[in-house]
Amino acid sequence: MKPVFILLLVCTYSVAFCQNDSGADTSLKFNKRYTQCERKWVVLPKNDTAQSYIYGFVYIDAHAGFTFIAKGKLKINSSGHYLSDTSMFKNPYPRTRLSRNAGKMALLSPEHFEEMGLDPLPVGLATYYTYADTLEHNFHWGIVYNDLGQCDTALVYLNRAYSVQPHYKDLEFELIYAYNALKDYDNAIKVILAAMTNDPLNVIFYRELGYVYMQQKNYYKAIPIFKQGVNLCTDNTQNSTKAEMAINLASIYKTMGADDQFKAWGKLAKTCAAPGTEVYEFIVRQGF
């Protein structure tokens, strides 16, 4: 049976701790992003007037990404015992895809699993974790974490795949993206140079290598790489990439005070970019 996804409010309140009836700290600390809670039982924060918390489990669905499955409500009595009420949710339990703006959660300590009748990994979710440590799995999970902006975690998965098959389709681009996002330009360069050796006509690698040199302010390396990339763009399907490299060249020449070159490359960039696209609007903002 396919999981049923419904809209479930994931509260955005962030509190330091919750208290039981006697005012004692219950150690429910809402300080974890959902990306830190995969394969964990978690508790969602509540507003001040709510009598109980919603708790559930976080896992990754191969198609939906990070997902929260609600199990029930949680109350903490004056003795510090965790009281679970699952009557509000019936199997199949409601699930919600977690978006980037989901609020922080508290990890549910394993010491309460027995009194709440919880398994470390719910039986119904075990099938999501029957995979082998395959190239495809690690690549897919790397993409998931890159999309979420968790590039350091993405690299754990992507490098596992890279060690098996470095030139796997789109793997090098995901690695380059992650390294650039983390400003780890030296490792980005290593991946790009190896990729270019394998696929020397791929203009994307020239765009990325030029970008890295540009970020390092190594303009004398960036300029010839960008120019090589521009010259490799021989058909209209590559015009957007050509425009990106041309406007980057214009920017470099402007920084270097070469006004004629700045204008020439800016005009070429505008000619290549499709009106209405993000690249075109950026070029217009540069004065072209």
Residue 149's pLDDT is what?
Answer: 85
Going by pLDDT thresholds of 50, 70 and 90, the confidence category of residue 147 is: confident
pLDDT reading at 71 higher than 80: yes
Least confident of 7-11, 88-92, 195-199, 254-258: 7-11
The pLDDT of 223-237, averaged and rounded, is 95
For residues 132 and 164, give the distance between their C-alpha atoms in angstroms, rounded to a whole number: 14
Angle at Cα 222 formed by Cα 219 and Cα 223, nearest 5°?
85
Going by pLDDT thresholds of 50, 70 and 90, the confidence category of residue 2 is: very low
Return the higher-pLDDT residue of 280 and 61: 280
Whole-structure pTM value = 0.66
Residue 16's pLDDT is what?
Answer: 29
Closest by alpha carbon to 181, among 218, 155, 207? 155
Asked whether the beta carbons of 112 and 20 are under 8 A apart, the reply is no
Residue 102's pLDDT is what?
Answer: 84
Contacts of residue 5, defined as CB under 8 A and 6 or more positions apart, other chains included, come to 64, 67, 94, 95, 96, 97
pLDDT reading at 13 higher than 50: no
Residue 105's pLDDT is what?
Answer: 94
Going by pLDDT thresholds of 50, 70 and 90, the confidence category of residue 25 is: very low
pLDDT reading at 5 higher than 70: no
Residue 77's pLDDT is what?
Answer: 87
Residue 26's pLDDT is what?
Answer: 56
Least confident of 70-74, 98-102, 219-223, 276-280: 98-102
pLDDT reading at 118 higher than 50: yes
Residue 28's pLDDT is what?
Answer: 87
Q: Is 139 strand, coil or helix?
A: helix
For residues 224 and 240, give the distance between their C-alpha atoms in angstroms, rounded to a whole number: 19
Which percentage of the chain shows pLDDT scores above 90?
61
For residues 134 and 225, give the distance between their C-alpha atoms in angstroms, rounded to a whole number: 35
For the chain, the structural domain boundaries read 34-129, 135-285
Give whole-number Cα distances, 166 to 64, 131, 194, in Å. 27, 21, 9
Residue type, 266: G
The chain-wide mean pLDDT, for the chain, equals 86
CATH 1.25.40.10 fits 135-285, yes or no: yes
The pLDDT of 8-21, averaged and rounded, is 35
Going by pLDDT thresholds of 50, 70 and 90, the confidence category of residue 252 is: very high
Return the higher-pLDDT residue of 238 and 9: 238
Return the higher-pLDDT residue of 287 and 10: 287
For residues 39 and 266, give the distance between their C-alpha atoms in angstroms, rounded to a whole number: 50
The pLDDT of 42-68, averaged and rounded, is 87
Which percentage of the chain shows pLDDT scores above 70?
91
Number of Cα atoms under 13 Å in the Cβ half of residue 155: 13
Check whether the bond before 92 is cis (ω within 30° of 0).
Answer: yes
